Amino acid sequence: MSKRRHEILKSVHLFENNIPYEKPALPPTLHNRTLTSITNALNAEAYLDPQGRLWLAKEKLHSILRTTKANANDLFDSFEEVRKIENHWYVRAHEVMGRICKEIEEADSLKKGEYLSFSEQCLIAIRDSDRATVKRARFLEEWREKKKKLKNARIKNYGIVMDELTGEPLEKRTAEFSHIRSSSLYRGLSLDIENGLIVNKATHELITASGVNNEEELIFLCDQEGWFTTWYDEYKEYLHNRME
């Protein structure tokens, strides 16, 4: 099983299913009963989270992927972005869509490929539905506002008076919250004050110019520049505790 990215969501009630979407036309060459089983599975087990991201329940993957439950369970074990909520497993839909694309290209019959294509079209329609688009827009607005508050929150929480990497006096007015793991690549960590360090503007500009996106790249830059590295072990412990 590959290394997984677990995210914490305490209640499945924060998920929303039965999402209104514009269903694709039913292909006349395919069986209505099978097509209905696909749409029923998606109505019941395709979910939007508060960020407007699409998730699929493990229980109905076999219907969406047009395979057996045993095969679907094996495929699930290869997915990375999964959640377990109230004893049920969910996977990000983009991972399933990637698998569908592969299965279409390697389908052992044209008809199976057509069924998979129908599943894919439905998933795209749900992802691009009005409900999902509005959720993503609202989340993005809130996310941007919360990101602005990270600098002052970390400074206040830890009483920071110097650049956490260089040790130079902190120029508080222009100092910045520098994410250790990129806020765009690791959205789930982006609003956590432990996923960043308070640094002067010049320090942050050098980090950005060096293309740093994670802790391994940052520690390499610190070694090159002679900056503090004590943050590294503390950060690894934070990640370990967060994943438990």
Per-residue model confidence as pLDDT tens digits over 88-110: 999 999 999 999 999 999 999 99
pLDDT (0 to 100) of residue 11: 53
In which band, very low, low, confident or very high, does the pLDDT at 13 lie, cut at 50, 70 and 90?
Answer: low
Cα separation, 148 vs 126, in Å, equals 31
Cα separation, 118 vs 39, in Å, equals 9
pLDDT (0 to 100) of residue 86: 86
Torsion of CA 57, 61, 65, 67, to 10 degrees: 180
Residues contacting residue 135 through CB under 8 Å, at least 6 positions apart: 48, 50, 51, 52
Cα separation, 74 vs 1, in Å, equals 9
Q: What is the pLDDT of residues 195-215, one digit of tens each?
A: 999 999 999 999 999 999 999
Query: Which segments of 46-129 does DSSP mark as H helices, in order?
Result: 61-65, 69-76, 93-105, 110-127
Mean pLDDT for the chain overall: 93
pLDDT (0 to 100) of residue 3: 43
Looking only at the bridges linking them, the beta strands covering 176-179 and 196-199 are antiparallel
Q: Say if residue 70 is exposed, middle or buried (CB neighbours under 10 Å; 0-12, 13-18, 19+).
A: exposed
Cα separation, 196 vs 155, in Å, equals 11
**Cα of 77 vs its chain's centroid, Å:** 17
Cβ density class 93-123: b for 16+ within 10 Å, e for less: bebbbebbeebbeebeeeeebbbbbbbbebb
Domain ranges of the chain: 5-136, 149-243
| DSSP single-letter state for residue 58 | G
